[in-house]
Amino acid sequence: MPLIVTGAAGFIGSNLVRALNDRGEYDIIAVDNLTRGEKFRNLADCTIADYLDKEDFMRLVSSGSFDGEVDAIFHQGACSDTREANGRYMMENNYRYSVELLTFCQAEEVPFLYASSAAVYGAGQVFLEDPRNEIPLNVYGYSKALFDQWVRGHSQENTAQVVGLRYFNVYGPREAHKGSMASVVMHFFKQYQSTGRLRLFEGSGGYGPGEQRRDFVSVADVVKILLHFLDNPLASGIFNVGTGAAASYNEMALAVIGAVRQARGEPALALEEAVAEGHIEYVAFPEGLRQNYQSFTQADLGQLRRAGYAPALRPVARGVAEYVTYLQSSERAA
């Protein structure tokens, strides 16, 4: 029976499809909305059994066409634009869609592995999977928190595995279509390639210039965690997915600069050198952003480790270097 991946042409979904192919899985139904047709590139090197538009897929689910015909659903489809202000659109795409799919999976006893988000924590300082720590700052975060709440409220009714993964700041290949919502690594790379300079925000939240810290995690590790749960169907719950070690924007900037310079045969730079030589400059926050800005995130990985996921996750230096190499090779092939 097929595996179903929603959001299959998106960032994490397409990396997951590629990883499934790499381990010999080709009976995959890819579900997405290709109104933005350029996303097809994310699946161009993947093998799938079928593609369905999201609306067609949900009509088939409602009609019973998939009854007894699904091995597992990886629900990665969502509106991930944290700036989207249309709450009705956000709740339909991120909450109601998820409720309907999980209801189907429980009726069919089908594992359901879905994308949650660290946005549920808002500006909090405790990143532990507990409702007391969840105070989202925007409707995107609220849509994810509300579905997590629904999952918890119905957990006693589970007939099969239910896994929610709270992604922190994910970066890596196949995110070009995200535009302004792409990772800081991609933005830094493009900015440095075009101008030779990176612009970071001035200090905020008690942190100095560029010292705001986030938990940046490679999509390669995100996919490994998804496959871990597929292979361990008795594990259920809501789990943080980060590295467990926050990195500053200064560190990320130096990692990108260092990777680019290494490819040119140039030496790495210390922060003081990078600032003095104009490779890094600090700018004021845009109007209205400072008060809604997360100055610190760091995943607590305790529950993930207790669920049996033991491998180390890529530190920033390694993950960024791998991604910059990919971006450079993509530029050369273009």
Q: Is 178 noted as a catalytic residue in this protein? A: yes
Tell me whether residue 224 is one of the annotated catalytic residues. Answer: no
Of 97, 140, 142, 249, catalytic: 140
How far out from the chain centre does Cα 6 lie? Answer: 14
Listed in sequence order, the residues at least 6 apart from 155 whose beta carbon sits closer than 8 Å to its beta carbon are: 162, 236
Q: Which of 56, 10, 4 is nearest to 25 (CA)?
A: 4
Contact call for residues 178 and 126 (beta carbons, < 8 A):
no
Catalytic residue among 51, 54, 89, 178: 178
Instruction: Give the separation between CA 70 and CA 103, rounded to whole angstroms.
Output: 14
Phi, psi dihedral angles at 180 (to 5 degrees): -65, -15
Q: Which amino acids are annotated catalytic?
A: 140, 178
